[in-house]
Amino acid sequence: MISMMKEITTRLKEVNGIISGYDGGMMPFEQAFALARFYYDFQDTNALIADAEAMAGENPEQLKEIALSLEAETATLLNNIGRLDGIDFRGIANAHSRRHHAIFQEASDGLNPYWKRYCGLNHRLDYLPLGSKEYAEAEKECEAAKAEHDRRQTDVRRIYEEYERESRRAGDVFSLKASHLYALATKLNGIAGSIMTDLDRMEKGEGR
């Protein structure tokens, strides 16, 4: 499992790339989701500090490199965070959720004719003599109609599961605000500075 300290700078570079490339208008959902996931994955700064403390004892050189990169990347984020002002994250989330719901609704509506056809054929069997040639042919047609309906219903269920998954992802974006990222970047920048200060003290034999 990759530690938080080893992962955070890579994720920060992705975030900075998204923000620096944003030129206004509606941000693509996947980019907004990447920003949201960065916030939720690293908002527990106590866990990040604990990870840094463990790394300080195991590999202080690598920790210093990460801390330097963390300080630089968070500084970049803080300089560019104003680009996110005015972004309607709720609107992005709602549009994404509605799009996937529309896909599901279309698939669900498209299933109805196949169910009606099966029900009609099944109902017809009640009026045919049991054991007759007409009954056997109608029964075979009914079974084929049922199989076709069931196959398409499986697809509809898969589409619904996808809609539910995308709705959960949209929920992450819905709750995001630029101020959340600003507050987190500020804390992370401070943590990076503290890590370097502590490592310098360790190198000088002053203790942590």
Whether the Cβ atoms of residue 181 and residue 73 lie closer than 8 Å to each other? no
- Kindly report the length of the chain: 208
- Cβ atoms of 3 and 144 within 8 Å: the answer is no
- The token pair that represents 153 in the structure block: 């219903």
Q: What is the pTM of this model?
A: 0.87
Residue 199: pLDDT over 80:
yes
d(CA 147, CA 149): 5
Q: Side chain identity at 106, as an amino acid letter?
A: E
Give residue 170's Cα distance to chain centre. 7
1 has pLDDT over 50: no
Tens of pLDDT, residues 134-169: 999 999 999 999 999 999 999 999 999 999 999 999
Q: Which helix (H) or strand (E) holds 76?
A: helix 60-80
**Tens digits of residue pLDDT in 68-122:** 999 999 999 999 999 999 899 999 999 999 999 999 999 999 999 999 999 999 9
Q: Which two tokens stand for residue 127?
A: 């009026």
